[in-house]
Amino acid sequence: MLYQIKDGTVSVGGQTILSHVDFYIKEKEKIAVVGKNGAGKTTLLRLLAGELQLDRDDRRGMSSGAHGKETACKNSLGIVTSRNITIGMLRQVDSSNQDKTIEEILLESCPDRDTYSKERFDYEMEYDRLFTGFGFEKEEKSRTLGSFSGGEQTKISLIKLLLEKPDLLLLDEPTNHLDMKTVEWLEDYLINYPKAVVIVSHDRAFLDAVATGVYELENGSLHRYAGNYTQYRQQKLKNLQIQRKAYERQQAEIAHNNELIDKFKHKPKKAAFARSRKTMLARMKLIEKPVEDEAHIFTGNIEPQFPGGKWVYEAKKLKIGYDGRALLELSLRIRRGQKIAVIGDNGIGKSTFLKTVAGLIPPIKGTSQLGSNLLVGYFDQQSALIDSEKTVRDHFHELFPALVEKELRKTLGMYLFGGANASKRISSLSGGEKSRLVLAELLTGRPNLMILDEPTNHMDIPAKETLESAFKAYTGTMLFVSHDRYFIKQVADAILVFENDKVMYYPFGYDHYISRLKASKDGNLPALMQAKDAAMVEALAAVPKRERHETRQLSTEEAYLEWKLALAAEPVAKAAEEAEKVYEELCEAESELNEENVDKLRLQYEKVADSWTNECTKWYDIYLDEMYPESDF
């Protein structure tokens, strides 16, 4: 055991934050600490770092080292370590270093001052790798720390900490200020970090990739779970269900016995029986009522008010941008029911594209056309800047006056505005809460197209999981921009990648996209088209070659011709024909509002669409083996 806390309690300002907690971490383990905001996660990190001490007689001697490192003593009361260990935690940027160059700052931790030593050479190679990995250019090492932004200085402090390689590395929200590519790079680095790591983060995809164990901090107590974040959530919900059922059974048993006691306690022949039941209840070990999970999980579908047309959006040779300056050009068709995530670096044109689709800004050139019979719900960060002295309940009721009080309270509760939260004034809500309220309004309005720009910004995890569940239950069309990879993974069934001046379409979910991208040695990712996207293939084929936007699956004309040949082959063609036939029947039933057949045809369509996808996958795996014999696909 590298480090262990036994029955530790920590109070700050007279308030108990951690109560009789047990914590341990082994060599090379990667531990995530999760919990609500204010639960005490940072307090735990400060305890591990030696900034705080245990209450009562639990004390440990700590000799502070340089640059946020401490050396923990063995076998202190309440805390046990396997040996003298170094502990490193990211600190605030040192203001005294503002005039030093980055190279000077990073070399402070070099174990060997000899310019020509092998150890010095290895160290400099490592800090070059870290420096460029965090998005800097090598030449920037000659700049002073003060010439970098606050976010960049934080990254430099993290680089310095990683170079020190403490035995126990403590990271509090390490992905702040990092773009998606840098976060993925840091994930790989930490996975291979040779020592132990404790992480506090709201980035669930990051925790999924790095963590091998999870501690949940709730009501001052710590509970350990094996695995990453997703595995922890699955196990917690399973445990919650088991505890709920056990609690309900015990409560039913208690109620039944109390009935028997009341019935027989005054009857002489049954009084002894009643007393025995009363004694049994007194000795019964009570099961605690489970604390219900904060996130609300939607179980039924959220259907749009009306389905709308088959094709939701079409772009032809569309150039997007501002003030006459085009950022990029694309051609695209979006089909009803798709949920497409738009990803890419900041400033590349993602939000501009959404505004163009929504009609908020005009195209620079080309066609941007929404389909027929559309009710559009649009959200961006400006949408959440609502300010009112009305309560959440009154504001929502004004928007949906047809809702009776019971329905109104139930709807607000589903979006975590139940109970006292419904009586909060909108002006007192946080930015994340205001965003959640606006999104609740959009979903309750049931549009058939939702265009969303960073919908989960500034939200805590329960709010994100509630909205993920709602968007998964929503059966309309979604086009959204997000940097939250976990959210994208949960919601999107296709990806639009904005990269430099190109737009690349990938017709599977985010996990599939990332796994294939990592397997691709050259970054050129062929992809197969799902059955429901067959019409999109036809539309792309009709676009002249030089105007057709670049797509991973159609990266060359040869690949496209091979794809067309595949659609003509058996059994792919047979499955394609059946899928198209069922889809047309489904569209006809929906347009005629024939509810009797819609559900049956929808299930049938999902079945034949899966069949088409499976046949395509079989063929394409063979194709990849033949065309890319040395690849890892």
Claim to verify: residue 77 and residue 208 sit in the same structural domain: yes
pLDDT at 62: 39
pLDDT at 551: 40
Claim to verify: residue 439 and residue 378 sit in the same structural domain: yes
- Percentage of residues of the chain with pLDDT beyond 90: 53
d(CA 89, CA 35): 19
Whether 70 has a pLDDT exceeding 50, the answer reads no
Q: What is the 3-state secondary structure (H, E, C) of 474-526?
A: ECCEEEEECCCHHHHHHHCCEEEEEECCEEEEECCCHHHHHHHHHHCCCCCCC
pLDDT in tens, 20-67: 999 999 999 999 999 887 889 999 999 999 999 998 654 444 333 334
521: pLDDT confidence band, cut at 50, 70 and 90? low
Claim to verify: residue 209 and residue 243 sit in the same structural domain: no
- Rounded alpha-carbon distances, angstroms, from residue 193 to 164, 178, 190: 12, 19, 5
Claim to verify: residue 133 and residue 40 sit in the same structural domain: yes
Claim to verify: residue 510 and residue 560 sit in the same structural domain: no
**Which amino acid belongs to residue 582?**
V
Rounded to an integer, the average pLDDT of 421-443 is 94
Instruction: Read off the CATH number of the domain in which 150 is found.
Output: 3.40.50.300
Claim to verify: residue 470 and residue 572 sit in the same structural domain: no
Asked if 79 and 159 count as a contact pair (C-beta separation under 8 A), the reply is: no
| H-helix or E-strand spanning residue 237 | helix 229-264
Claim to verify: residue 493 and residue 617 sit in the same structural domain: no
Q: Higher pLDDT residue, 546 or 442?
A: 442
d(CA 573, CA 555): 23
Rounded to an integer, the average pLDDT of 436-443 is 96
Domain encompassing residue 629: 520-633
Residue 405 belongs to some domain of the structure:
yes
Claim to verify: residue 326 and residue 379 sit in the same structural domain: yes
Whether 18 has a pLDDT exceeding 80, the answer reads yes
Whether 133 has a pLDDT exceeding 90, the answer reads yes
Asked if 580 and 609 count as a contact pair (C-beta separation under 8 A), the reply is: no
Residue 295 belongs to some domain of the structure:
no
Residue 619 belongs to some domain of the structure:
yes
pLDDT in tens, 583-626: 778 777 766 666 677 778 878 877 887 787 777 666 655 554 54
Claim to verify: residue 481 and residue 554 sit in the same structural domain: no
414: pLDDT confidence band, cut at 50, 70 and 90? very high
Residue 172 belongs to some domain of the structure:
yes
373: left (phi over 0), alpha (psi -120 to 50) or beta: left
Task: Kindly give the pairing relationship between strand 15-25 and strand 3-12.
Answer: antiparallel
pLDDT at 630: 47
d(CA 70, CA 48): 10
111: pLDDT confidence band, cut at 50, 70 and 90? confident
Last residue of a domain, one of 180, 205, 227: 227
Whether 72 has a pLDDT exceeding 90, the answer reads no
pLDDT at 64: 34
Q: Six-digit token pair at 142? A: 């000659």
**Which amino acid belongs to residue 217?**
L
Q: Which of 29-33, 136-140, 160-164, 343-347 has the lowest mean pLDDT?
A: 343-347
Asked if 61 and 158 count as a contact pair (C-beta separation under 8 A), the reply is: no
Last residue of a domain, one of 469, 488, 515: 515
pLDDT at 591: 66
Rounded to an integer, the average pLDDT of 128-142 is 92
Q: Higher pLDDT residue, 499 or 130?
A: 130
Query: What's the structural domain count of the chain?
Result: 4
Whether 147 has a pLDDT exceeding 60, the answer reads yes
pLDDT at 353: 95
pLDDT at 520: 63
pLDDT in tens, 187-222: 999 999 999 999 999 899 999 999 999 999 988 999
Claim to verify: residue 361 and residue 496 sit in the same structural domain: yes
Residue 291 belongs to some domain of the structure:
no
Claim to verify: residue 488 and residue 615 sit in the same structural domain: no
Residue 300 belongs to some domain of the structure:
no
Residue 297 belongs to some domain of the structure:
no
Whether 631 has a pLDDT exceeding 70, the answer reads no
Rounded to an integer, the average pLDDT of 7-12 is 91
Rounded to an integer, the average pLDDT of 539-559 is 40
Residue 292 belongs to some domain of the structure:
no
Rounded to an integer, the average pLDDT of 560-577 is 61
Burial environment of residue 427 by CB neighbours within 10 A (0 to 12, 13 to 18, 19 or more): exposed
Asked if 503 and 592 count as a contact pair (C-beta separation under 8 A), the reply is: no
Claim to verify: residue 354 and residue 440 sit in the same structural domain: yes
